[in-house]
Amino acid sequence: MSCNSDTERAAAASASQSSSSPLLTPQDHQSAGAPAAEVAEPPVFDSSSSIVTNSEDNPSPPSTELEIPIVWPPDGKLSLNWIRNLMSVFDWASRNLEPTQLPDVFPVEVFDSLVLCASKILHKEPNCVAIDNLGSESTVVVVGDLHGQLHDLLFLLHDAGFPSENRFFVFNGDYVDRGAWGLESFLILLAWKVFFPRTVYLLRGNHESKYCTSVYGFEKEVVTKYSDRGKHVYRKCLGCFEGLPLASIIGKHVYTAHGGIFRHMPATPKRSKGKKNRKIAFNPEPSSLSIGSFEELNKARRSVLDPPWEGSNLIPGDVLWSDPSMTPGLSPNKERGIGLLWGPDCTDNFLKKFQLKIT
């Protein structure tokens, strides 16, 4: 199960190529004919008008004022009410504040604490997470590209129900770029990951990279919102991206990844003595390509800002950038410049080889 439908190229881009979605202002969210009102104090929280709390699965708390600015819990332990407030504050801020006012509601110090806490959890997870602790009453929600659509994320959580001991979520990457609220969306997911580390899983997409975020808007979004601290926030996000797992297997039979199938990597040729400084670029011939194993996937080095398109660590690029094809066989993805194209026969072989039912 993959969700990689982009048409970007993996070639290096110059800084002047950077293009991004415009950061929306409060006026962009006014309904037709409605005047643009001045930014007011945070309203009293009314659950009947908030999509993040009004559902049978997510009982609404008593009406209360939003807690602004967000404060990190003194004991360092997140609560459901803390996450509810975070979502409601981000929702309100997206409709009432300028992007540059985000630090007023979510200070850098709170950002640092959340990212540090989440990164410690993510970096300990394997490249391919096994989600096996499912009971008879468990449900699993697999989510594709969010691309900074905060309000879609809030609606999804409302509609499907919040994560719980029996409601699992697997987010398949591409949290940022293109949309105006990539940072807020990613932070909400990190909060849920910290609160429910064994029922919320965040996989990496091809946009969780330095290349994509510098070209498709996320870097500009973060620097715009956090101004002189923007580069710091952006670097912390990149470090967190490096820790995101690459794939998952749900209930032993469902494989999910942002891109898809990955190759077998033959042993890397050894350097001759006295040639330590000579770089060896090792790319298997297309005719020798074959499907890799999960042992190889878990041994791959995912802690890279941009998955390499050449060398001995090609599996991360395959998992994040590969595309399905109607042409049988396994071949280099020449259109993207990274990853693979795999045909229906490869899907069948992959499922049979690893006793899977869905990919």
CATH code, domain carrying 240 = 3.60.21.10
Same domain, 87 and 164: yes
What φ, ψ does residue 233 adopt, rounded to 5°? Answer: -65, -40
* Band of pLDDT at residue 30, cut at 50, 70 and 90: very low
Q: Is the pLDDT of residue 344 over 60?
A: yes
Q: Is the pLDDT of residue 6 over 50?
A: no
Token pair recorded at residue 160: 């499907």
pLDDT of amino acid 105? 98
Average pLDDT over residues 274-293: 67
pLDDT of amino acid 303? 95
Give the pLDDT confidence of 290-302 residue by residue, as tens digits: 999 999 999 999 9
Amino acid at 128: C
* Band of pLDDT at residue 65, cut at 50, 70 and 90: confident
pLDDT of amino acid 96? 97
Q: Is the pLDDT of residue 340 over 60?
A: yes
Beta-bridge partners for 250: 131, 254
Same domain, 98 and 162: yes
- Mean pLDDT lowest for which of 56-65, 116-125, 329-338? 56-65
Same domain, 192 and 339: no
Q: Is the pLDDT of residue 33 over 60?
A: no
What is the span of the domain harbouring residue 219? 80-255
Average pLDDT over residues 199-205: 98
Strand 330-332, strand 200-202: pairing: unpaired
Beta-bridge partners for 140: 168
Same domain, 237 and 299: no
* Band of pLDDT at residue 287, cut at 50, 70 and 90: low
Domain count, the chain: 2
Q: Which residue has the higher pLDDT, 279 or 173?
A: 173
Q: Is residue 47 part of a domain?
A: no
Q: Is the pLDDT of residue 9 over 80?
A: no
Sign of CA dihedral 99, 97, 73, 139: negative
Catalytic residue among 29, 123, 151, 207: 207
Give the pLDDT confidence of 79-96 residue by residue, as tens digits: 999 999 999 999 999 999
Same domain, 139 and 247: yes
Domain final residue pick, 201, 233, 255: 255
The string of DSSP letters for 16-36 reads: GG---PPPPPGGGGPPTT---
Of the CA atoms within 13 Å of residue 306, those in its CB half-sphere come to: 15
Q: Which residue has the higher pLDDT, 53 or 349?
A: 349
Same domain, 158 and 89: yes
End-to-end CA distance of the chain: 4
Q: Is residue 146 part of a domain?
A: yes
Buried b / exposed e across 67-102, counting CB within 10 Å, b at 16+? bbebebeeeeebeeebbbbbbbbbbbbbebbebeeb
* Band of pLDDT at residue 42, cut at 50, 70 and 90: low
Q: What is the pTM of this model?
A: 0.81
Q: Is residue 43 part of a domain?
A: no
Q: Which of 69, 113, 116, 112 is nearest to 233 (CA)?
A: 112
Q: Is residue 276 part of a domain?
A: no
Q: Is the pLDDT of residue 264 over 90?
A: yes
Token pair recorded at residue 202: 């965040």
Q: Is residue 56 part of a domain?
A: no
Q: Is the pLDDT of residue 177 over 80?
A: yes
Sign of CA dihedral 42, 45, 51, 52: positive
Same domain, 243 and 104: yes
CA dist list (Å): 303 to 4, 265, 317:
20, 18, 12
* Band of pLDDT at residue 286, cut at 50, 70 and 90: low
Q: Is residue 85 part of a domain?
A: yes
Same domain, 251 and 146: yes
Q: Is residue 106 part of a domain?
A: yes
Domain final residue pick, 211, 236, 255: 255
pLDDT of amino acid 269? 61
Q: Which residue has the higher pLDDT, 195 or 283?
A: 195
Q: Is residue 278 part of a domain?
A: no
pLDDT of amino acid 359? 82
Same domain, 88 and 237: yes
pLDDT of amino acid 15? 35
pLDDT of amino acid 38? 46
Average pLDDT over residues 109-118: 98
Residue 207 bears catalytic tag: yes
The answer to whether 220 and 106 are in contact (CB under 8 A) is no
Say whether 291 sits in a helix, a strand or coil: strand
Same domain, 250 and 293: no
Average pLDDT over residues 19-36: 38
Which secondary-structure segment (H or E) carries 299?
A: helix 294-299
Same domain, 211 and 320: no
Mean pLDDT, the chain, rounded, equals 85
Say whether 105 sits in a helix, a strand or coil: helix
The beta-carbon contacts of 149-153 under 8 Å, at least 24 apart in sequence, are 149/179, 149/181, 149/185, 150/90, 150/91, 150/94, 150/179, 150/180, 150/181, 150/184, 150/185, 150/188, 151/51, 151/91, 151/94, 151/181, 153/185, 153/188, 153/189
Same domain, 312 and 250: no
Q: Is the pLDDT of residue 348 over 60?
A: yes
Domain final residue pick, 207, 234, 255: 255
